[in-house]
Amino acid sequence: MEVRVRYAPSPTGLQHIGGVRTALFNYLFARSQGGKFILRLEDTDRSRSSEVFTRNLYNTFAWLGIHWDEGPDTGGPAAPYVQSERFSLYRKHAEELLAQDNAYYCFCAPERLDQIRAEREASHSPETGYDRHCRSIPREEAARRAASGEPCTIRLKIPLGERTVFRDQLLGDIEWKNDDVNPDPVLLKSDGFPTYHLANVVDDHLMGTSHVLRAQEWLPSTPLHVILYRAFGWEHPEYCHLPMVMGQDGKKLSKRHGATSVDEFRRQGYLKEALINYVALLGCSYEEGKDLYTLEELAERFSLDKLNKAPAIFDYKKLEWYNGLYIRMKTNEELAALALPYAVEQGLFGYVMREPSGEQRELFKSAMVLVKERALFLKDIPGKLRYIFTEPVVPAASEFIPKKSTLPAARELLTMGRELTTPITEAETTEAAEAAVKAFAEQKGLKLGDLLMPLRVAITGERVSPPLFGSIRLLGAARSLARIDRALVVLA
């Protein structure tokens, strides 16, 4: 049997972490089994579906590097892959269920349904859903009324007094009383639009879906889908309901926990490799003692029997750790290319959205070595390097003074630092420059930190900054000395 899995989002919102995790697991399973990964757009909710969200879906997965084998933009043997283009199929199959007496016409007006709901609420009745009022209408009469144009829906006949049993690849055997299933749900609305349940089952069958991997929040819908499959006389796919993704508070991950849409993570400067690596570990294990995986390595190792039943906890700190690791794995040229859009947006090269000159571009690339070891997010890199591209404001004199020292001492230390600046820029390597300055401090009986504090503030404008020696060498002797002389005026 060929493995065929699908990601079937509704284009009614931005792609979020939970949806991406579902798509990723389906993708990895398909690749691990040599199968097909399919994208299907479930856009039957016309009031909320938007082309904006469809574009966001395409952009998100293009950025992540996750590609489907069949889909709206690639085509395939089961086209079309957009539900709004398949309405004739849904009506045809709903009518098949009518002919088999597994569905019936319902003529209840929305006002009647609202009245039933209100009466139940008023009486605190435990009953929910439709009261099956039209189920007893003779088929001939119902067909005649529908043919005459009387507004109606088509509802599924849930077998009464029975149980629906199916096996879940992760959770094991699931048994559900039919009395607890949504009572005779609507399959086809009065306007001809299918409901989610009908479209989902028909599409999965016609597209040859072999396995359905989806979040456990969909588990209550599965008995209904199994009943629908059996009403058609079809075999249902293998089901695997993935563990939920929760926040640190044990509640379903949502905006209150922080960023959840992939766009938000991208804006904050996360790398796609970090996001994929971390999300792939939410509820799944791969190899003992290994933390970093490429997308290809994840696909090689993915298996349904490595999934965890317990909910996965989304740890932002762990994701940050992954992001920092992947930033450090980039070459200076790669990191500069990734961080450059943030630098342009933040006005690092003169004003907001100004592109760098060739010289600025090279300087920006060279400066990556200063921030790579400590950077956690791409968006933070330009701010850490602003002193390289813009002359910093000279801070107040108090900022130059080392702990437990004085202003005259700070002025003397900065004067010493000035004499060391040219040798720092002329040293063969940064390491050689550091060794020479350390030897100088020992010779003078000075703490290295005290010696460098006034120099650091003069060069960068901050008491805490990227590596000082690398900064001086990148700025060059002339620019560095000019900054020191400006600072000495403040300390005079």
The predicted pLDDT at position 156 comes to 98
Whether residue 441 is found in the same domain as residue 412? yes
CATH code for position 194:
3.40.50.620
Question: Roughly what angle, to the nearest 10 degrees, separates helices 87-99 and 196-206?
Answer: 100
CB 242 within 8 A of CB 214: yes
The predicted pLDDT at position 442 comes to 97
In a domain, 28, yes or no: no
Whether residue 221 is found in the same domain as residue 125? yes
| Residue range(s) defining the domain that contains residue 424 | 397-491
In a domain, 480, yes or no: yes
Contacts of 423 (CB under 8 A, 6+ apart): 433, 436
Chain centroid, CA 31 distance in Å: 20
The predicted pLDDT at position 234 comes to 98
CATH code for position 447:
1.10.10.350
3-state class of 245 per DSSP?
strand
In a domain, 251, yes or no: no
Domain boundary (242, 270, 290) is at 242
In a domain, 76, yes or no: no
Could you tell me the pLDDT band of residue 314, with boundaries at 50, 70 and 90? very high
Domain boundary (197, 225, 242) is at 242
Alpha carbon separation from 347 to 30, 278, 360, 375 (Å, rounded): 44, 31, 12, 19
Whether residue 97 is found in the same domain as residue 223? yes
- % of the chain residues with pLDDT over 90: 93
Whether residue 380 is found in the same domain as residue 432? no
The residue whose two tokens read 């060929």 is: 2
- Average pLDDT score over residue span 140-158: 98
The predicted pLDDT at position 381 comes to 98
Whether residue 143 is found in the same domain as residue 124? yes
DSSP secondary structure string for all residues of 179-227: GGS-SS-EEE-TTSPBPHHHHHHHHHHHTT--EEEEEGGGGGGHHHHHH
The pTM score is: 0.92
DSSP secondary structure string for all residues of 95-141: HHHHHTTSEEEE---HHHHHHHHHHHHHHT-S--S---GGGGS-HHH
- Report the mean per-residue pLDDT for the chain: 95
In a domain, 468, yes or no: yes
- Active site (annotated) includes residue 438: no
Residue 256 has pLDDT above 80, yes or no: no
Domain count, the chain: 3
CB 33 within 8 A of CB 3: yes
Domain boundary (345, 372, 390) is at 390
Distance CA 53, CA 476 (A): 49
- Catalytic pick from 255, 309, 444, 447? 255
Residue 288 has pLDDT above 90, yes or no: no
